[in-house]
Amino acid sequence: MTPIAPHITAFLRERLPLQRGASEHTCDSYAYAFQLLFEFAGKRLRLTPSALSLEQIDAKLVMDFLQHLETERHNGPRTRNARLVAIKSFMRFIEHRVPALLEQSRRILAIPAKRTDSHLISYLSMDEMQTVLNAPDLQRHDGIRDRAMLHLCFSAGLRVSELVNLPINAIEWQPSPNVRIMGKGRRERLLPLWKQTCVDLRAWLAVRGPAPATELFVNARGQPLTRSGFEYILNKYVQTAAERYPVLKQRHISPHSLRHSAAMMVLQATGDIRKVSLWLGHADIQTTEIYLRADPTEKLDAMSAVVPLSLKKGRFRAPDKLIASLRGA
């Protein structure tokens, strides 16, 4: 039996960050996936996770684990698929380290991803977004921070991980104000900053103080903000904005909704899906096509460009005398 602990340690500490250059967020996500898998396997096999062997992580156990995620943890298909991606990546790593497990690995790699529904994106209109941005109290220290943070997240279309990990030196003032973002897949992009965004950022930097953290946005203790911290802040101001737009009370507005709102703004301003893709830092333009589905103006333009067919008009002839008499009544 092959102990699993040294191999998973090498995978998370060497394979992902050093050999593949995976981000810290990706490494954390994979580590959490294996935490769930090993806890499940330990209970199923009545072993401590550290006593598990590679041979015990077979295709049937992985399938049962995926079913457990959906039925007991109530995870959706996307989360289920993300956990499966982590497991498959580890098994490809194992194929070269333990060739004797090649057949076992092949069986796990053959497990298909579950198809997911493709819903329209949720985004804020410009008036709704403006109301959210005006919600922070600029007479307070945290209000100045929150206004700058929300404005930058929206205007640059940042992922929440990009926002909370953004270093101070990512803001470049000369020769023109820009923000340098290291995005998903280590793809770097440079975006210009709006004039009002610059005003909000300068106001925050003036009161930020000498916090030891290198991140741009910090909490009251001078520590970097977390994803959950930003989600709490956004939810607070969405509730404030809902007093003016009650429809927001029935909608789920997440940090990613700000990114969607930025994408829709760029699409409606330029009409160019390629510019939206560059703004968001997408690796594949097909990912950006979700915004075309959500923009009704694109369909209206298509309708106006099409000459409707000229169809022959006629009357329906009722085949039954009773129906004919009723039609003439």
Question: Is the previous residue joined to 175 through a cis bond, with omega within 30 degrees of 0?
Answer: yes
Catalytic residue among 256, 313, 321, 327: 256
Instruction: Identify the sign of the CA torsion 94, 96, 100, 105.
Output: positive
Query: Catalytic annotation on 159?
Result: yes
Catalytic residue among 147, 208, 259, 260: 259
What's the number of CA atoms in the CB half-sphere (13 Å) around residue 279?
Answer: 25
Query: Catalytic annotation on 30?
Result: no
Contact by Cβ (8 Å): 13, 112: no
Query: Catalytic annotation on 119?
Result: no
Nearest to 280 by CA among 268, 253, 262, 292: 262
Catalytic residue among 145, 147, 208, 282: 282
Q: How far is CA 283 from the centre of its chain?
A: 14
Number of residues assigned to the chain = 329
Catalytic residue among 80, 145, 151, 159: 159
Catalytic residue among 184, 189, 227, 251: 184
Task: Compute the distance between CA of residue 191 and CA of residue 87 in angstroms, rounded to an integer.
Answer: 35
Extract the tokens encoding 255: 């940090």
Nearest to 141 by CA among 207, 199, 230, 202: 207
Query: Catalytic annotation on 244?
Result: no
Task: Compute the distance between CA of residue 155 and CA of residue 170 in angstroms, rounded to an integer.
Answer: 15
Which residues are known to be catalytic? 159, 184, 256, 259, 282, 291
